[in-house]
Amino acid sequence: MIYHPETYRIPDKRMQPFIDADEIWSYLRQVKADKGRVRDVIAASLDKKRLSLEETAVLINATDPELIEEIKEGARTLKEKVYGERIVLFAPLYVGDLCTNNCQYCGFRASNKGVKRITLSEPELVAETRALIDQGHKRLILVYGEHPKYSAEFIADTVRIVYGVKHGKGEIRRVNINAAPFDIPGFRTVKESGIGTFQIFQETYHEPTYRKVHLGGIKRNYEWRLTALDRAQEAGIDDVGIGALFGLYDWRFEVMGLVRHVNHFEAVYNVGPHTISFPRIQNALSLDIEKEHLVKDEEFVRLVSILRLAVPYTGMILTAREPADVRDQILRFGVSQIDGGTNLELGGYSKGKHDHQDLTKGQFQINDNRSLSEIMDELIGSGYIPSFCTACYRLGRTGEHFMEFSVPGFIKRFCTPNALLTLAEYLEDYASDETKKAGYRLIDEKVNEMGEDRRVDKLKEKIEQLKTGKRDLYF
Ligand code: SAM
Ligand code: SF4
C-alpha cells in the first residue's frame, strides 16, 4: 500500500499544524535581551525548567559577546550538572536510497537520474550489521529514502533482520529509524518490530521555504510532515526524534520552531521528544540551495547552546556531518549522542573504511571520517565516558533522557554504572591493548568517584563478570 497524504484523513483535531510564523517572528522582533533578563532565563534553565518561546527568543536575541559567552557557559554547566560526561555512540545504516521526492539539498532526490540506486538485500543487510557489530556498535539508526518499496512492512522486516543478527560476541540492541512519515496504521506496524526512536526532521519550520526546497513527491506536503510524529504518538510510538536542517532558512526561526514542536508534544502527549537533531547542510550531489542562510561555526555553537538551555531534558544528537574539531568543540555544550565510524555508502561498512567519499554513492558529504575506535580513544582521553547503553529501552523505561533529568539520583544509580559496563564490554571485545588500558583506568577513576555505596560493589562484581565472559549486564 502506498501511503499518501491526499487519501489520508486527519482523525483528530490534535493533529493540526501548530507552527504560527507570525507568532515566532513577533517574539524574535520584539523580545528584548538585556543583561538581567538573559541571566534570569539562563538561571531558569539551570533550575531545570523548559523554556517558553519568549524565553528562547531572549537567548536568541542576545548578541552582546559577553552574554553569548554566558549562554555558552550556561549550556556547559547544564550538561555537566545533568548529563555528566557520558556520550552515547551509534551508527547510521543506510538501507535504501530509492526516493520519489525532490528535496533540493539531498543527493538521493529523484531528479539525480544518473545514479545507481541500491536497496540492500537481506544478506547485504546482515553483512552490514555484522560489520557494525565488529566495530563494537550496539545502537543503530536505519535510514531510508521515501519510496513505495519502503513500506511500513518493509521497514519492520529490516528491523527484525538487524535484531536477529548474532555475530561474534555481540549483537545490535537498539534499532532507531529515520524514514518517511506513515499514517497511523503504518507507524503501528513499524512499532511492532521493536524500534527505539522514530526520527523525522521537519527540515524547515518555515512553510514558504519548505515549499521552495521540496520540489516534488509526497514530502512537498508541509502539514503531512509537520504532523507526522503526532501520528507516531497516536500509534503508540512515544519515543520520537525531531530535527531541523540548518541552512535552509534563518537559524533563529528554526530554533523557535523546534522549541514550539517540543511544547506541542508536551501539551498534547505529555511527553517531549526523546532527541533533537540539528544537521547543517553539507555538500551533496547536485546540491541546489541558496547560500544566504548557511550557518557559520560561531552561530552553530550559539544555537546548540540555546537549544540545550531551552529543552534541558532532551537528548541532543551531533553527527559526522560536522568535522572532528567542530564536533569536539560542540560536545561540551550539551550533546549527548554522536555517531562513530560512519559510512554513508550503501553496503559501505562491509567493504571496509574509506577516506575518500564518492558523492554519487551517499546522501551527502560527511566530514568526520574517524573510525569508532579512534573516536573511543579520543573520548576516553578527554575524560568522557563512551556509552553503548540500551538498558532503559530494554526494560521498558521509555523517556530515558527525561528520567535522567527529572528523577533525582537516576544518573548515579543507572546511567553512569550502565555506561561503564558497556564500556568495559567494548574494551573486552573490540579494543586494542592500549585502549583497554586507558579505558580501564577511566573506569577505575569513575568507580572510585562513586564513593562507598552498595551499588558500587554490585558494579565491581558485574565488571569482573564481564572480564570472565558474561555479556549484556546492566542495572
Ligand atoms: N527520506 C527520509 C526523509 O527525508 O525523512 C529519510 C531522511 S534522510 C535520508 C535523513 C536526513 O538527512 C534528512 O531528514 C535531512 O535533514 C538530512 N539531509 C538531507 N540532505 C542533507 C545534506 N545535503 N546535508 C546534511 N543533511 C542532509
Ligand atoms: Fe528523499 Fe529524504 Fe533525500 Fe528528500 S531527504 S530526497 S525524502 S531521501
Pocket of ligand 2 contains residue 173 by CB under 6 Å: no
Positions of CATH 3.20.20.70 in the chain: 5-17+84-395
Residues 447/452/457/460 CA torsion (nearest 10 deg): 10
From 95, 98, 99, 105, give the residue whose CB has the most ligand 2 atoms within 8 Å, as the site to mutate. Answer: 99
DSSP assignment of 421-434: HHHHHHHHHH--HH
Q: How far apart are CA 323 and CA 337, in angstroms?
A: 15
Residue nearest to atom 6 of ligand 2 (CA): 109
C-alpha to C-alpha distances, 48 to 75, 280, 406, nearest whole angstrom = 12, 27, 8
* pLDDT of amino acid 353: 61
| pTM (2 d.p.) | 0.95
Nearest ligand, CA of residue 344?
Answer: 1
State which amino acid sits at residue 387: S
The H or E element containing residue 402 is helix 400-406
Q: Rounded to the nearest whole angstrom, what is the distance from the C-alpha of residue 405 to the centroid of ligand 1?
A: 29
Q: How far apart are CA 206 and CA 260, in angstroms?
A: 12
Residue nearest to atom 27 of ligand 1 (CA): 281
- Cell numbers found for residue 340: 562513530
Q: How far apart are CA 152 and CA 230, in angstroms?
A: 17
Written as tens digits, the pLDDT of the chain (475 aa) is 344 555 555 556 567 789 999 999 999 999 999 999 999 999 999 998 889 999 999 999 999 999 999 999 999 999 888 778 999 999 999 999 999 999 999 999 999 998 899 999 999 999 999 999 999 999 999 999 999 999 999 999 999 999 999 999 999 999 999 999 999 999 999 999 999 999 999 999 999 999 999 999 999 999 999 999 999 999 999 999 999 999 999 999 999 999 999 999 988 888 899 999 999 999 899 888 899 999 999 999 999 999 999 998 889 999 999 999 999 999 999 899 999 999 999 999 999 866 667 777 777 888 898 999 999 999 999 999 999 999 988 888 766 666 666 667 777 788 899 999 999 999 999 999 999 999 999 999 999 998 877 889 999 999 999 999 999 999 9
Pocket of ligand 2 contains residue 416 by CB under 6 Å: no
Pocket of ligand 2 contains residue 106 by CB under 6 Å: yes
Pocket of ligand 2 contains residue 103 by CB under 6 Å: yes
Query: Cβ distance 347 to 118 under 8 Å?
Result: yes
CATH of domain 5-17+84-395: 3.20.20.70
* pLDDT of amino acid 1: 35
C-alpha to C-alpha distances, 285 to 241, 249, 337, 437, nearest whole angstrom = 26, 20, 27, 43
C-alpha to C-alpha distances, 459 to 367, 387, 444, 467, nearest whole angstrom = 37, 15, 11, 13
Query: Cβ distance 321 to 280 under 8 Å?
Result: yes
Nearest ligand, CA of residue 225?
Answer: 1
- Cell numbers found for residue 102: 525532490
C-alpha to C-alpha distances, 294 to 278, 286, 297, nearest whole angstrom = 13, 17, 10
**Atom from ligand 2 closest to the CA of residue 363:** 3
Pocket of ligand 2 contains residue 101 by CB under 6 Å: yes
* pLDDT of amino acid 401: 62
**Atom from ligand 1 closest to the CA of residue 145:** 1
Residue nearest to atom 4 of ligand 1 (CA): 180
Pocket of ligand 2 contains residue 150 by CB under 6 Å: no
Nearest ligand, CA of residue 213?
Answer: 2
Pair type for strands 166-167 and 170-171: antiparallel
Q: Rounded to the nearest whole angstrom, what is the distance from the C-alpha of residue 417 to the centroid of ligand 1?
A: 34
* pLDDT of amino acid 411: 79
Pocket of ligand 1 (CB under 6 A): 105-106, 143-146, 178-180, 200-201, 203, 245, 279, 281-282, 284, 321, 363-364
